[in-house]
Amino acid sequence: MPDFVTFDDNMDHKAAERFAAANTDPVSTLTHSTAFVARHFLQWREDQKTRETVKRISKERSPKSNGGLRGAAFDMFARGLTVKEVSTELEITYANSHYYSRAYKKSC
């Protein structure tokens, strides 16, 4: 085996968990008919459109669309929410939420 080939058990395990979470069997033209694969793809695409619509609607209602992210984060920190809760609610990274937390503490 070449020296540059390395296996990461942790990464493989995470990939297996993601696959298991999808809870679907893989669909391939090697194992299924072309018509079945096409129907499966069309169903998947419809599901994606539905998810995007729900995501767009939820973002329109999100507090970050009113007054900006910084203002929304400051309001949430003023109410006593944690960095993790703010990052989840505003759909931002933990690092960004932490940055807003530090900025909020400096402004007080």
Half-sphere exposure at residue 68, Cβ-oriented, CA atoms within 13 angstroms: 4
Half-sphere exposure at residue 99, Cβ-oriented, CA atoms within 13 angstroms: 8
Q: Cα–Cα distance between 108 and 103 in angstroms, integer?
A: 9
CB distance 92 to 83 below 8 Å = no
Phi, psi of 91 (to 5 degrees): 60, 50
CB distance 86 to 97 below 8 Å = yes
pTM: 0.40
Residue 2, SS3 per DSSP: coil
66 band by pLDDT with thresholds 50, 70 and 90: very low
8 band by pLDDT with thresholds 50, 70 and 90: low
1 band by pLDDT with thresholds 50, 70 and 90: very low
